[in-house]
Amino acid sequence: MRFAFTEQQLELRSAVRQVLERECTVGDLRAIADNRAATHDPDDPRDAHGTGGRSAERWAVLSEMGAPGLLVAEDHDGLGLTDVDLVGVLEEAGRASVPEPLAESAGIAAPLLARAAAMAPEGGAVRELADRVLPQLASGELVATVGGVDPAADGFTTTTRPNPAITGGASTQGTVTTDRVAGAGRAGLFLLAWDAPGNGWQIHAVERSAVDVVDTPSIDPTRDLGTVEWTAWPHTVIASGDTAAELVADLVDRTAVAYAAELLGLADRMITLAADYAKDRKQFGKPIGSFQAVKHHLANARVALEFARPATYRAADSLARDLPERSEHASMAKAMASDAGDLAGRVALQVHGAIGYTWECDLQLFLKRAWTLSAAGGDAVTHRARVLSAALDRLGPA
């Protein structure tokens, strides 16, 4: 099969790039980083969650383009497109290092909620929630995020834990804490997974008014990361048992593909920054880009990126068609994209030399995001182990 993007998909991607070049500049990213460095007080007008002065404006422009509702069905006021349409948008979001949780809201939470509703009984609370929330997500009026699960070589681990100080021990009803929730400072709805002791996996939908968010410091000051304290009640459960386990797998796959797409954009941006610098920086009277050693480093980074791209695009297609191999393809994409992002960062830093370590150099803004996304949603080692596990399962017992 020959895979290629349609003209409309390429035009959408190009339009997003043009908008982000205007709405998400290096100056905007620096302003966010400065705000995060200035305060950790959530009541401070400088904004402890790092949304920055232009966040609402930027999100409004993306919403006008329909980006938050790309995967939302038309009967819920979305565009009704697929993951193949979204992957290019997320790649451009990564290239600009967009601080808003576009990947979490549009690429993970919205389709996860829609899938949960499709698996729920008609007329139930889950379908009512989806009917109310999905149009708000599509319009950008509401932002959602996800959390509570990390991939492992042979399954999943939960990042949600009971709070013993409040509940008196492990409980399926009581206050719990979910670590490392991206977009927590902006989200109005949280879809949180929990491997509840004695009850298995559950997915909870918790509104902003029912959570406490503690800002979590990150190596990337433009990334909105938080620890979420919330109460697990029976009425917040939207899936449990086998249904929840299936949704957890979907959450992990979508997170892997979304972050892989963003890493492609980040790697491309860092390689471009390094190449541009190599053209201007001179040693011995010549641009350093004319030296073979520099050329080889940049070429190696570009090769890693170009190998990661088709793997990520295939994973997006597998999600769109809900193929049986979707988890394996998602892990391949994340492993290769994490490697490509790491290599591009190392090469760009080496090409820049000592100035690359400084706050004044723009490279650091994209390098730090690449470091965080390389590990988020499972690092390359974890996802390679998942691919190996899937291959061994197909072979069967020795």
Structural domain includes residue 124: no
Look at residue 159 in the predicted model and tell me its pLDDT. 95
Strands 200-207 and 155-158: unpaired
Structural domain includes residue 112: no
Distance between CA 93 and CA 96 in Å, rounded?
5
Low-confidence ranges of the chain (pLDDT < 50): 40, 42-50, 165-172
Q: How far is CA 287 from the centre of its chain?
A: 37
Q: Domain span at residue 324?
A: 251-395
Spatial CB neighbours of 306, under 8 Å, sequence gap ≥ 6: none
Structural domain includes residue 33: yes
Query: Do 269 and 322 have their domain in common?
Result: yes
Handedness of CA 109, 111, 113, 116 (dihedral sign): negative
Handedness of CA 356, 216, 223, 327 (dihedral sign): positive
Q: Residue length, the chain?
A: 398
Of 92, 95, 93, 99, give the one whose Cα is nearest residue 273: 95
Query: Do 56 and 172 have their domain in common?
Result: no
Look at residue 173 in the predicted model and tell me its pLDDT. 52
Strands 160-162 and 174-182: antiparallel
Q: Which of 243, 266, 300 is the last residue of a domain?
A: 243
Q: Which of 208, 224, 243 is the last residue of a domain?
A: 243
Helix-helix angle 83-96:241-280, to 10 degrees: 40
Look at residue 394 in the predicted model and tell me its pLDDT. 82
Distance between CA 194 and CA 247 in Å, rounded?
12
E strand or H helix at 274: helix 241-280
Classify each residue of 52-73 as buried b or exposed e, where b means 16 or more C-beta atoms within 10 Å of its C-beta: bebbeebbebbbebbbbbbbbb
Query: Do 379 and 288 have their domain in common?
Result: yes
Q: CA separation (Å) from 308 to 97, 300, 331?
A: 18, 12, 11
Distance between CA 128 and CA 33 in Å, rounded?
39
Distance between CA 193 and CA 203 in Å, rounded?
5
Query: Do 172 and 210 have their domain in common?
Result: yes
Helix-helix angle 241-280:326-352, to 10 degrees: 30
Structural domain includes residue 115: no
- Is 398 exposed, middle or buried (CB count within 10 Å of its CB: 0-12, 13-18, 19+)? exposed
User: Which residue carries 């996996």 as its tokens?
Assistant: 201
Query: Do 222 and 331 have their domain in common?
Result: no
Backbone angles phi, psi at 168, to 5 degrees: 80, 15
Three-state DSSP class for residue 193: strand
Q: What angle do CA 113, 119, 123 make, to 5 degrees?
A: 90
Q: Which of 139, 165, 188 is the last residue of a domain?
A: 139
CATH number at residue 373: 1.20.140.10
CATH number at residue 190: 2.40.110.10
Rg (CA), the chain: 21
Classify each residue of 333-365 as buried b or exposed e, where b means 16 or more C-beta atoms within 10 Å of its C-beta: bbbbbbbbbbbbbbbbbebbeeebeeeebbbbb
Query: Do 283 and 321 have their domain in common?
Result: yes
Query: Do 390 and 309 have their domain in common?
Result: yes
Look at residue 289 in the predicted model and tell me its pLDDT. 76
Structural domain includes residue 28: yes
Structural domain includes residue 231: yes
Query: Do 91 and 169 have their domain in common?
Result: no
Query: Do 239 and 257 have their domain in common?
Result: no
Look at residue 172 in the predicted model and tell me its pLDDT. 45
Look at residue 66 in the predicted model and tell me its pLDDT. 96
Contact 321, 85 (CB under 8 A): no
Distance between CA 99 and CA 370 in Å, rounded?
13
Helix-helix angle 326-352:292-321, to 10 degrees: 160
Structural domain includes residue 123: no
Distance between CA 225 and CA 223 in Å, rounded?
6
Structure tokens at 381: 């080692």
Query: Do 257 and 334 have their domain in common?
Result: yes
Query: Do 306 and 193 have their domain in common?
Result: no
Structural domain includes residue 116: no
CATH number at residue 91: 1.10.540
Query: Do 352 and 390 have their domain in common?
Result: yes
Look at residue 398 in the predicted model and tell me its pLDDT. 61
Structure tokens at 215: 């800002």
Of 105, 18, 111, 107, give the one whose Cα is nearest residue 61: 18
Structure tokens at 301: 């980074």
Three-state DSSP class for residue 379: coil
Look at residue 44 in the predicted model and tell me its pLDDT. 47
Contact 341, 267 (CB under 8 A): yes
Strands 225-232 and 174-182: antiparallel
How many structural domains is the chain composed of?
A: 3
